[in-house]
Every structure is written in C-alpha cells, then in structure tokens.
Chains A and B, each alone.
Chain A
Amino acid sequence: MRIVARASLAALLTLSMAGSSAFAADPAPLKIGMITTLSTAGGYLGEDMRDGFQLAIDEEHGKLGGVPVQVVVEDDGLKPANGKLIADKFRIQDKIDVFTGIIYSNVALAVVPGLVESGAFYLSPNAGPSQLAGKGCNKNFFVVSWQNDTPHEATGQYAQYLGLKKMVVVAPNYTTGKDAVAGFKRTFHGEIAEEIYTALDQTDYSAELARIRAANADGIFYFLPGGLGINFLKQFTQAGLKKTMKVVLPEFSLESHVVAAVGNAAEGLYGTAHWLKDLPYAANKKFVSEFIKKYHREPTPYASQGYDTAKLLASGLRAVNGDVSKADAFRAALRKADFQSTRGAFKFGPNQFPIQDWYSARVVRDAKTGKLVIRGVGKIMAQAGDVYSNACKL
C-alpha cells in the first residue's frame, strides 16, 4: 500500500498539485521505499514498525533531519517474490534511493542484495540475517535492530546467569529456527535435555509438551515467533509446566502484544531484550509517551526499531541536506550513528550491524494497575556485537 506520510504542508501541496507551476519552487519530498509485512498473521509486526517510523516523521512535521520526506509503503505479504517485485517498482519506476521496512529475513535475503548492489541504501529495522553480516555484508546495508543470532545469545547468557542446569529448547524446523538454537547454545553451557523442532503452521503442541514434561528439565527456551509462541505458551501454562520450569525467552516471544494475547499465562516469564518500555533514557520516554498518545496501544520492540531507524535516517539526511546522491558523505554520516536511540548507547560494528546493550526482563504484575508488564531487571550483555563481523571486509 502506498501511504502519503502526514507530511509538511508544503510536501502535501506539492503532491496533490503535482505539476502545478505555482508550487514549482517547493522541493519534492524525498521518497523512502518501505517494503514490509502488513497482511498474514505476521502483519502486526510490520504495522508496529511502520507506525514507529511514522512517529519520528510526525515529530518533525513531515521531515526527517530537516528534509521533507514521503514514505511509500507496500505490503510484501510475507512472500519473498512479492518483496522483490515491489523493490523493483520502487527502484526502477519511482527512482527511490533509500529503503527500509522488511520484517522477515527470507524476504530481506531476496530483496536487499539486489537493491544495495544497484547503489541504493537499505536501513533494516528488523531482519539481520547472518548471510548479510559476514562475507555478504555491504557498505550500503545498515541494520538498526540486531543480528538475528544476538537475541538468542543474550537469552542463553540469561539462562546461564539464572543458574539453569538442564534446558529444553524448542524452535520451528527451518533455518531461522536452527540458527536461533545455535545462538542460544553459544552462550548457554548447561545440558540440553531435548531439542524439539516443530512444524511451521502447528497449532497443537500437546505431543511436544508431554515430551518436555518427560525430559525433567529445569528450564525452557523457545523461539516461536508471533502466533506460534502464543499458542505454545497458552498450552504450556495450561499443562501446569510453568510450576516446574523457568521460561527464558528472546524478545520475539516476549513483547507487549504477546503478553496481552496470552493473559495470565505470561506472569513470571523471564526474557531478554535490546529495548524495553521502561528504559530510563530521555529519547525512550518521549517515544513511549508519544506512541501511546498517537496510536492508543503499547509500543513493542518493533515499534522502537522503526522509530530508531527513522532517527538514524534523519541523522544521515541532515548531514547531506537531503541529497542522498552524495553517497559517500551520506554513508559516512549514517555510520557515525549520531542520534539518540530509544535504547541508550548505540553504535555500528565493522559490518554496520549494531553494537548495543542487552537487558534481562521479567513479566510482573504492576502493583498499581494490576496489569502484567514487562519490567527490566538488569543488563545481561554490555556493548555486544555479533560473531560474523570478523568475516566482513568493508
């Protein structure tokens, strides 16, 4: 879909009266191509990311870094081929140079290499696949979220810290799931009692839950994004397993939408995150209050990633005054990451993936409201990068 960003008056007029000579003096806004997932069960991830991105533009009344911008959004439907077609249209037809938005790694892998090789810039608000972090890194590819393995490494670290000795790990039976398990095992050094791989569209987990019970472990880690994790957690709790096992999760399975969708089942879960609602940074406080005010819902990590991506872009655009054809200067400015992120200290590693802090968190009942909230506990990894950056030659 194509959304005309709530842009400055000038930008709006330029758009609605395109070609009208009275407004010829106004510069056309810089177009930003956003390819994201808005339909299917994963649609709410893209929606949050898009809304976070838009919030940063609204703060500047239609501008980023003082440059009028227009976000052109289209739904990839979680299909790599659709993503590629949209990218072609944006790049060739609309001559867009700056891209962002992709949620899922398989879409990113189909779209990003072609875009950056053609000279366009891609700022990833979510997907950070390993294929593009090591040998496949690119000078025009920046990742604002994380490398895909890092959330799981942080979670392994936390399980280790919690003193868990024997864990069960659960992930869908595809490459992303196996990478998640590998990331977890990189930092968790206790015994893995059972590795369980589930089907992609699975709704019932009773067979797995019986296996988990039989494994007699003291903790469980699972990477089941979105609805899969909601199904699993509801059934896990109903089976009474939460009484005997600690649940330690990466942030995909522990964000505010998931907590809302599973209700009381979320109470007491352990998790890790690179962003939390209660992080005490000024930029974060502003983001959280503005997001709730505008959209009337709790922000998720995806929303914060969209917001931070827009802020990074703003810092780059300011440096070149909106002229992204000065590619070297624009790239150098982006690389500096000179912006106030919602998650505190943020910088890029040699592969232009983030180096940042990771936090531990727990779902607790708020004493005042009686509602379940995700509350930060401490820092679990400080200024962590990723294991692939050494292979990247930039």
Chain B
Amino acid sequence: MSLALEQLLNGLQFGVMIFLLAAGLTLVFGIMGVINLAHGSIYMLGAFVAASVAGTGAPFVVAVLAGAAAAGLAGIAIELVVIRRLYARHHLDQVLATFALILIANDGVSMIWGKTPLNMAVPAALSPAVTLGGFIYPAYRLVLIAAGILIAAALYVLISRTRLGMLIRAGATHRETVAALGVDISRLNTVVFALGAVLAGTAGALLAPILAVQVGMGEQILILTFVAIIVGGLGSIRGAFAGALLVGVVDTLGRAYIPVILKPIAKPEIADSLGGGLSAVAIYVLMAIVLVWKPRGLFPVGPR
C-alpha cells in the first residue's frame, strides 16, 4: 500500500516538473498563437546558468534566480529579434524559426560550456531522504513538489486576479478588441513571452540538481511538455496543470506497474522488455485516446 502511495507521489512530482515547462509553453501558444520549439532550449539555458553560478560557490537560491533571469533575458531577446516578425505569418514559419533557434542554442551552449555534462549539487540542507509514513522520500523532491504547486498558485492568481492577467486572458480570445481598447499588444506579447521563458528557466534551474545538465536536455523534455499541454487542452494554466499531472502520473504508474502486471502472464524475459516498451509509449497512447475522444483536449478554452 505504501508502495502505491509512493508511486503516486512520484507521479505527482514528475507531473509538477512537467507543469513548470508546460505553463510557459501553453501561455505563449494560447495568447500569442506561437508554437515555440525553442522552449526546451530556454529551459536548458536556465539549467546551465544555474549550474555555473552554483559552481562558483554561490548559494542555491542565487543560482536558481540567476538561471531564471538569464532565461527571461533570452526570452525577451528571442521575442524582439525573431518571434515579433513572425506573428502575421504562417504557424509553420514559426516552427521553422524556433527549430533554427534550437540548433543555434545547442551549438552555442556547447561552445560556451563544452560538451561534458555539468554538475549542480542538491543544497546540503535538502539532500537527505526523509521518512514519510512508511516510505523514504528524497527531501529535495518534496521541495520540487512544493515549488511547483506554489508557482501554479501564483500563476493562477496572476491570471485571474490582476490587470495583466485580465489582458492575457482577453488577448487569448479577443485579440482585436484588446488592441482596439488601446492596449499595447506588442508589449503584452513581449511580457508574456518573457514570463514563459522565466518559468522554463526556473524549471531548468530547479531540476539541474537531479538531472544531467547537458546539451540536448531541452528536446528530451520538450515532447513530453507538448503532450501535457495537448492532453490538458491548449491555452489555459488549468489545462496545463491537469495535463501535466495526468501525463506524470500515467507515465510513472506505467513504468511502475505495467512490467509487474505482465510478469505472471508472459515469460520473464518477454515481460520485462515488453513492459519497458509499453510503458515508454503509455503517454502517447494516453494522448491518442484523449484526442480521439476529445479532439481539443480535456479542458479546451473558448473559440480561437
């Protein structure tokens, strides 16, 4: 029983991790209509900057803030130089441009930091594993869950209670009206893009202590993030949160239980590798089922 609880918590933790990326991606798509493939590159930048700053002996919090800030600046630069020129163009032109940005980011990072993965240690106070009603759990992962939920709550307040949030919501559905009311749409776009980038950079910095900080880490998680926002329904923080948790839990429980379920049915060597294969595609099967059933995801936002 406690094992099942532990696996559920693992799923929650993984989901929260995906949410940090999904939130930014869904904002940028929902409000600006931009498919930003370079979101993973911004996440990578956050992780590299945080790991380098931590490597100089700076406190953990400073390292995370540095990662988030660097990502935010990169986001603003990308919006001003590239994305801004592509709003009026075909969606696919944005895809090509942000694909080019991935190439530039990967090569740039390997020119600056080299090809060898970097290390970032878990802060000493958070490194032990704690006993949690029947099972042992890494303290740092609890911090990740807390941080993720906190960020989700803050975003919720920002979107639903502030003027900026109101503009963002209105911008997503009634772009022309907002512009007609005299709001500077292009500044709103820059702000939203920067916000998404800061979220991605924060995710990279927070995850750096538990992952290999290396070139290509952005694409690994990018696809998963897209799956999450699609399953949840595009453009809303609520959808991204639900989608990310669902993807996290399904992926984790798949890896935890599909091989165990197969064991008594199939021969051991087949059960193990078939189980591995099935759990690898579990989230894609989930996405296919959700979209066949609800073609616009679980929580679609108003008309686009």
Contact = CB atoms under 8 A, between A and B. Distances in A.
B145 to A, nearest CB: 11
A239 B6 CA distance: 12
Query: Which label, helix, strand, loop or mixed, suits the secondary structure of the A interface?
Result: helix
Contacts of B211: 203, 230-231, 234
Of the listed residues B6, B140, B210, the one surrounded by the most CB atoms of chain A closer than 10 A to its CB is: B210
B210 A261 contact: no
Given A214-B3, A238-B140, A257 B279 contact: no
The range of chain A's interface size is 35 or more
Contact of B106 (A39, A206, A297): A39
Contact of B110 (A43, A173, A234): A43
B216 A41 contact: yes
A58 interface: no
B22 to A, nearest CB: 15
A114 interface: no
Interface string A28-41: 00000000001111
Contact of B209 (A39, A47, A226, A234): A234
A214 B6 CA distance: 11
Nearest to B275: A197
B75 to A, nearest CB: 22
Contacts of B273: 173, 178, 197
Interface in B244-268: 251-253, 255-256, 259-260, 268
B13 A206 contact: yes
Interface in B85-144: 106-107, 110, 114-119, 121-122, 127-129, 135-138, 140-141
A243 to B, nearest CB: 9
A127 to B, nearest CB: 19
B118 A197 contact: no
Given A173-B280, A234-B209, A238-B138, A204 B14 contact: yes
B189 interface: no
A210 interface: yes
A285 interface: no
A44 B213 CA distance: 13
Contacts of B215: 39-41, 43
Contacts of B138: 235, 238-240
Contacts of A228: 212
Contacts of B121: 263-264
Contacts of B280: 173, 199-200
A355 B251 CA distance: 43
A260 interface: yes
A196 interface: yes
B119 A44 contact: no
B191 interface: no
Interface in A161-217: 173, 178, 195-201, 203-204, 206-208, 210-211, 213-214
Nearest to A171: B276
A268 interface: no
B141 A206 contact: yes
Interface residues of B, number: 55
Contacts of A40: 215-216
B117 A203 contact: no
A262 interface: yes
Contacts of B11: 207
A259 B25 CA distance: 34
B136 A41 contact: no
A21 B215 CA distance: 46
A227 interface: yes
A198 B215 CA distance: 21
A207 B252 contact: yes
B129 A239 contact: yes
Given A44-B117, A203-B221, A238-B141, A210 B256 contact: yes
B279 A199 contact: yes
Nearest to A40: B216
B220 interface: yes
A151 B13 CA distance: 35
Interface string B144-159: 0000000000000000
A223 to B, nearest CB: 13
B10 interface: yes
A43 B17 CA distance: 26
A207 B136 contact: no
What 6 pairs between A and B have smallest CB-CB spacing? A197-B276, A240-B129, A173-B276, A230-B212, A206-B10, A227-B212
Given A39-B107, A261-B118, 16 more contacts: A40-B216, A197-B273, A197-B276, A198-B276, A199-B255, A199-B280, A206-B10, A227-B117, A230-B212, A234-B210, A238-B122, A239-B137, A261-B116, A261-B119, A261-B212, A262-B119
16 contacts: A41-B212, A43-B215, A173-B276, A198-B255, A199-B255, A203-B217, A207-B251, A210-B7, A210-B10, A210-B256, A213-B135, A226-B214, A227-B212, A227-B217, A230-B214, A239-B129
